[in-house]
Structure 1
Amino acid sequence: MTEKTFVEEIEKALEKSKGLNLKELLFCYQGTFYPTTVCSAETFQALENFEARKDDLVLVSYPKCGINWLIQIVNDLIVTTLQTKNENAELPFIECGDPEKFQRMKQFPSPRIVATHLNYNHLPKSIIKNKVKMLVLFRNPKDTAASFFHFHNNAPSVPSYNSWEEFFSEFMNGNVAWGSYFDHAVAWNKHIDEENVLLLTYEDLKEDLLAGVKQIAEFFGFAPTAEQSQSIVDRASFQMVRERSKETHGAAGPLLFRKGVVGDWKNLFSETQNQKMDVKFKECLAGTKLEAKLKYDVYCKA
């Protein structure tokens, strides 16, 4: 994707947030909240007719779970193994942008990176029908909530919450951009075993990025050499990504790639909030494959 245009798109969205309050930032479409700065009902209607290609590379995550990191890794895989520059000058999230973007996307060469924060149930029908490969990234809910809160309160133009308590309550009720983390998790968990779905966790990528890059490459049918895989890993280290973030994501870069650590939630959560989320997580995901993958007891117990 042309970095300049991509940066311009991000900066346009941040510009649009200026002076808005939280109520004006979010609008409801089919029962889920989305940010008015990058999404619109018209784009969602146009998205229903989006024509997915069988060789699209669909990347999915709930907000603040590491998808921008994933986009860079997959983009690097394309550039490294296919020797082509990915010149797609659009916001990679299909639900973001103007309704005409899908016409423009028809001109993009394959393989296209198609990123989304959408719940499985809200995906365009053609992705499901064509059994397009989907790489789904999850992050433990406590770090996700903490990261989401910091994004709101650190991005100068994005409306802030009065307090962590206020944000936590909205997050638990799903009244945040892209809706409920838990609804998202429950919906994706139902499709975890489908052969065109690979579910990875942010924590596993942090733990062993080389193993993650190899899994991603194999899933999407890339065959990087050992040397290429290692150089992709070196470029995708959080330090490197953060250093280049102003170049790749403009003013939003350092906000999108803030700390990249596991366990930062411990600086925010109260004992009561911990218990609330533990209960909610169990209600939604106890005994599921996703629960096992997220290693909740390892990453979310104080």
Structure 2
Amino acid sequence: MDPKSLSVEDPRATYPFIPYKDWVFLPTPAIRTKGPEKHFQDIQDYETRETDIILCSSQKSGTHWVHEIMSMLMKQTTEYNSLGPWWELNLEYLRQPEEVKNITGPRIFSTHLPYSFLPRKHLDNGYKLVYLNRNLKDRYVSLYNFFQGKLGVPKWTWAEFFDDFILEDNLYTGWFNYTKEMTAATKNKSNKIFSVMYEDLLIDPKKHITDLANFLEVPYTDEFIDDIVIKCSFKNLKDNKLNVCSIIDTDKKSTLFRKGIIGD
């Protein structure tokens, strides 16, 4: 497939990807406007606060799910947040630091970028990170289905997707590189990183949400955790959560929450 033949001017388009070094990235408005090198440098130079938390995850690993859980814990409410991690403080979409400097209290940033791309101040000062990952096979099946019908995305067959994504493994520097970097970072005891697998959170949500609350140093009761477990169940999120991803779907379909199972 020739990306040049599939160029889409609509800023909501998710394809063609933007090449940078040996990798490719989603064409977010910030990357299109500034260029990948400038935007990624701005991210590394961004000065986060000690109270900021960055949610790090590979694509289709449950980012919106965990962001919702974190938002409820930090805001001490079981009300769903207004948008989610895509528009609200997502590093890939953040054009200028001034856009979010007036947000008071702890801010939850999110990103699919690997550890080496993250704000240096955040890493050097040992500020908090939440690292979420998922079984590779399930992640790729979910990603394949997610891209179907998105603006600018060609109608890949599974064979084409396998060749372009799984064998190339260069989207956001690739899952293997991403996982290698994040795993190494979690082994450094000076880093404040909460690590959780999608599958573990799905099997025993109360335990891992409680552990996350302790990591975030927020007050909680058993009843509060139980309420979050219920509100953040896959069915409730799919039925009640605003799905911002529908605006990049050619048919305006809700494609963010699909099955939410192990063994997709």
Deviates further, 167-176 or 225-234: 167-176
Deviates further, 54-63 or 26-35: 26-35
Query: How far, CA to CA, are the matches of 1:263 and 1:158 in structure 2?
Result: 29
**1:82 to partner: Cα distance:** 11
Give percent identity, aligned residues only: 25
Shift in CA distance, 176/17, structure 1 to aligned 2, threshold 3 Å: farther
Query: How far, CA to CA, are the matches of 2:89 and 2:134 in structure 1?
Result: 20
Which AA in structure 2 matches 1:218?
A: N
Q: Please, which of 159, 175, 183 is the counterpart of residue 177 of structure 2?
A: 183
Q: How does 1:165-180 map to 2 (within 5 A)?
A: 165-175=159-169, 177-180=171-174
Match of 2:3 in 1: none
Which AA in structure 2 matches 1:34?
A: F
Match of 2:66 in 1: 70
Match of 1:112 in 2: 107
**1:95 to partner: Cα distance:** 1.8
Match of 1:238 in 2: 234
Gaps of 5+ in 1: 1-12, 265-302
Asked if the contact 1:88/1:108 (under 8 Å) is kept, the reply is no
1:36 aligns with 2:27: yes
Q: Please, which of 124, 149, 153 is the counterpart of residue 159 of structure 1?
A: 153
Asked if the contact 2:53/2:129 (under 8 Å) is kept, the reply is yes
Match of 1:57 in 2: 53
Equivalenced residue count is 243
Q: Please, which of 90, 93, 96 is the counterpart of residue 90 of structure 2?
A: 93
Question: Deviations for 1:177-196, whole angstroms, at most 9, x for unmatched residues?
Answer: 42311111111111122340
Query: How far, CA to CA, are the matches of 2:49 and 2:78 in structure 1?
Result: 18
Query: How far, CA to CA, are the matches of 2:82 and 2:240 in structure 1?
Result: 17
Which AA in structure 2 matches 1:145?
A: Y
TM-score by length of 2: 0.82
Question: Deviations for 1:129-177, whole angstroms, at most 9, x for unmatched residues?
Answer: 121111100100000110110011143x250342111111222234554
**1:202 to partner: Cα distance:** 0.2
Query: How far, CA to CA, are the matches of 2:40 and 2:110 in structure 1?
Result: 15
Asked if the contact 2:243/2:256 (under 8 Å) is kept, the reply is no
Gaps of 5+ in 2: 1-7, 248-252
Asked if the contact 1:203/1:262 (under 8 Å) is kept, the reply is yes
Asked if the contact 2:22/2:170 (under 8 Å) is kept, the reply is no
**1:70 to partner: Cα distance:** 0.8
Query: How far, CA to CA, are the matches of 2:71 and 2:215 in structure 1?
Result: 14
Asked if the contact 1:242/1:257 (under 8 Å) is kept, the reply is yes
Shift in CA distance, 38/167, structure 1 to aligned 2, threshold 3 Å: farther
**1:45 to partner: Cα distance:** 3.2
